Amino acid sequence: MNGLSTINLKDMKDFEIRIPVKECTVDELPAADRRLVEEAREATRTSYVPYSHFHVGAAILMADGSVVRGSNQENAAYPSGICAERTAAFYASASHPGVAMKKIAIAAWTRLHNDGDCPWADCFQAMPISPCGACRQALLEYETAYGPIEVILYGRDKTYIFPSVASLLPFCFTDF
Ligand code: THU
């Protein structure tokens, strides 16, 4: 066909991509990681979420030991809002230019999935939430520039730990 050779579907090579992930409860995390999760939980207090009522917090541990927090900020023009992870990453880069981001912890809760008047700390999602594609791409940029960023996804029942942003974004676009 047009001089190009074709290959039968059955002759194509299959392969799988495996993603390394660790699972534990928050209590099983090393103390420093538990503190970063606590920073992420605290960061949810600063969410501005009049539309989704879904409070997300992120905390980034910088190579100089400082922690930068971010939370999701919504807008009446919906796409103009931004996730907690990108708020934190952009703030981290803007306030600590050239400093590597070592770890990011993410936590989320919503009253909508609860019976209304539970204390905020108990409203956290039982299972972790995972950063959206745009946030993975944004974080990947800093990872490519400065080295791996461990990703800690907190849930009341389970916490997942990924060794890097790239592990959450197979076939990622890095440069051209
Ligand atoms: N959101 C985050 O901040 N991070 C995520 O990882 C997923 C979603 C926000 C965006 C929006 O403000 C709300 O959660 C509902 O999607």
CA distances from residue 164 to 31, 82, 140, 144, 148 in whole angstroms, order as listed: 20, 22, 9, 10, 5
Ligand 1 mean position, distance from CA 1 (Å): 47
- pTM for the model stands at 0.92
pLDDT in tens, 166-175: 999 999 888 7
Which protein residue's CA is at the shortest distance from atom 13 of ligand 1?
54
49 lines ligand 1 (CB under 6 A): yes
Residue 6 above 80 pLDDT? no
133, burial (CB in 10 Å: exposed 0-12, middle 13-18, buried 19+) = exposed
Task: Output the CA angle 17-153-128, nearest 5 degrees.
Answer: 95
Ligand 1 mean position, distance from CA 153 (Å): 13
pLDDT-based confidence at residue 115 (cuts at 50, 70, 90): low
